[in-house]
Amino acid sequence: MTGVVEGRVVIVTGAGNGIGRAHALLFAQEGAKVVVNDLGGARDGEGTSAGPAQAVVDEIKAAGGEAVANTDDISSWDGAERLVQQAISEFGQLDVLVNNAGILRDRMLVNMSEAEWDAVIKVHLKGTFAPMRHAVAYWRDQSKAGNQIDARVINTTSPSGLFGNAGQTNYGAAKAGIASMTQIAAMELGRYGVTVNAIAPTALTRMTEDLMGLDSQSEEAKASLAPENISPLVVWLASPEAAGVTGRVFGVWGNKISVAEGWAYGPTVDRTERWLPGELTEVLPQLVKEAAANADMMGTRPAAG
């Protein structure tokens, strides 16, 4: 049976381990030609190695698929451009970009250093923007040349970016930015035949093994948190079947998939005259009381009362 992404050319960043590796393997299994990008660094972004990306490529080729390795730094402008150009030069086109690469440097805000902030923002936020910028420039040029474009961008946000998580002001801010970037890019790029969506995955990987108690789960629970459970959604979003879906953020945990519903104004108060600060004491506490509570890290709102 033909795979849902048969013949499509796909870039997956951060594909040497964890969720990215699972994406790359399933894309290849479903018929795509894959550019496996990974700098080969540690969880905190330190170090480089060609080994992880090449190991995934070797695994894909051993199974009869097509793939090439790339070890460029996707958070650098030139590195992101080389990555996109490699896909085009190796396989003649580019159809899908999956922005997955990331690092962690968790710290409470009062203890966070400038370097810890800068590194995480650069890898996640710029590391999503830069590959997307070069990919969509290619698709825009192809569209203007009269070619039919059916391209995809799938970004990776996080429950931390959508709902917040203590100790992750850098990571959460970057992931929140990615969610907004996804919505805005979807508005801008539809005219060129490009859809843009994001996922907020929860899985047990080297990035998350010591977070949220994931490493203390039962074996059955750990199996449900396998990175491989995330990838079917990503591959489907990359397929021609997903042409009508754009600007959305999907939560995915095990076999559960949710559509995230973004910020919306709730209880409101208005009047003709400008408010005086002292008058708001009689208004705002009640307004907040009427508003729905913020969701927890599972994306669930606490019960009223």
pLDDT digits (tens, 9 = 90+) for 19-51: 999 999 999 999 999 999 999 865 555 655 678
265 is catalytic: no
Its domain, for residue 80, covers 9-259
Q: Which of 33, 75, 171, 231 is catalytic?
A: 171
Q: Is residue 45 part of a domain?
A: yes
Is residue 175 annotated as part of the catalytic site, yes or no? yes
**302: its two tokens:** 């606490």
Contact 130, 80 (CB under 8 A): yes
Residue 289 domain-assigned (yes or no): no
- Say which of 126, 138, 160, 175 is annotated catalytic: 175
Name the least confident of 160-174, 199-213, 282-296.
199-213
Residue 196 has pLDDT above 80, yes or no: yes
Q: What is the pLDDT of residue 106?
A: 87
Whether 296 is covered by a domain: the verdict is no
Q: In whole angstroms, give the CA distance from residue 277 to residue 94.
A: 55
Residue 295 included in any domain: no
> What confidence tier does 188 reach under pLDDT thresholds 50, 70, 90?
very high
**Looking at the domain assignment, is residue 4 inside a domain?**
no
Is the confidence at residue 217, as pLDDT, over 80? no
User: Catalytic pick from 143, 158, 160, 239?
Assistant: 158
- Torsions phi, psi of 208, nearest 5? -120, 0
* Confidence at residue 223, expressed as pLDDT on a 0 to 100 scale: 73
Q: Is residue 84 scored above 70 in pLDDT? A: yes
Residue 23: its pLDDT value, please? Answer: 98
> What is the model's pTM?
0.91
The pLDDT of residue 226 is above 60: yes
Number of domains in the chain: 1
**Looking at residue 108, what is its pLDDT?**
96
CATH number at residue 189: 3.40.50.720
DSSP 3-state of 130: helix
Averaged confidence pLDDT in the chain = 92
- Whether 201 maps to a domain, the answer reads yes
291, part of any domain: no
Confidence of residue 213 (pLDDT cuts 50, 70, 90): low
